[in-house]
């Protein structure tokens, strides 16, 4: 190979390198949003469980309502952060999310409705009535069909 050809090949390789690393960066950024949302969901659910176990003051009731409403909004955000099916290897998302998209969205929305109804129950019937319903939030309804095993 003469030096001109070597230079052309080197340029092509470096352009490919830049676009591959851009794609990887892009994928990982989308995944960070998904993973971040899931961890926020997990934190808010932990607050509900904690109050269900030992909360009884008016502040606990107000915090319960806030966390349930936050959870409802975050469940409703799930489809938007999964809209792009470009994922890095680290992702546990199954391809069924995109092949079965309408059902995936319905599963996220169903959990959003459960969380909203917990907030309504706490606000209208009191904290005790809502406490017994915290386990109605069902993360497995989505993880079982749409997330790979550990």
Q: What are the residues binding ligand HEC (CB under 6 A)?
A: 31, 34-35, 38-39, 41-42, 45, 75, 78, 87, 91-93, 107-108, 111, 137, 139, 142-143, 146-147
CB of 106 to ligand HEC, least distance (A): 9
Q: What CA–CA distance (Å, rounded) separates 36 from 39?
A: 5
SS (H, E, C) the chain: CCHHHHHHHHHHHHHHHHHHHHHHHHHHHHHHHHHHHHHHHHHHHHHHHHHHHHCCCHHHHHHHHHHHHHHHHHHHHHHHHHCCCCCCCCCCECCHHHHCHHHHHHHHHHHHHHHHHHHHHHHHHCHHHHHCCHHHCCCHHHHHHHECCC
Min separation Cβ 8 and ligand HEC, Å:
39
Measured from the CB atom, the residue of 38 and 123 that comes closer to ligand HEC is 38
Q: Which is nearer to ligand HEC, 2 or 148 (CB)?
A: 148
What are the phi and psi torsion angles at 88 (to 5°)?
-75, 165
The residue (of 123 and 139) whose beta carbon lies closer to ligand HEC is: 139
Least gap, CB of 123 to ligand HEC (angstroms): 20
Q: Which residue is nearest to ligand HEC (CB)?
A: 142
Residue (37 or 123) nearer to ligand HEC, CB: 37
Nearest distance in Å: CB 149, ligand HEC: 10
Which residue lies nearer to ligand HEC by CB, 69 or 107? 107
């Amino acid at each position: 190979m003469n030096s001109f050809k070597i230079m052309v090949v080197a340029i092509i390789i470096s352009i490919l390198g830049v676009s591959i690393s851009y794609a990887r960066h892009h994928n990982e950024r989308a995944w960070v949003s998904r993973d971040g949302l899931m961890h926020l969901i997990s934190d808010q659910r932990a607050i509900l469980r904690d109050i269900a176990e030992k909360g009884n003051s008016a502040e606990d009731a107000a915090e319960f309502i806030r966390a349930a409403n936050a959870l409802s909004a975050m469940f409703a955000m799930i489809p938007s952060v999964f809209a792009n099916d470009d994922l890095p290897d680290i992702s546990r998302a199954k391809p069924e999310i995109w092949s079965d998209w309408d059902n995936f969205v319905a599963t996220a929305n169903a959990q959003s409705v459960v969380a909203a109804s917990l907030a309504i129950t706490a606000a209208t019937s009191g904290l005790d009535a809502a406490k017994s319903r915290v386990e109605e939030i069902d993360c497995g309804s989505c993880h079982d069909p749409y997330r790979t095993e550990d």
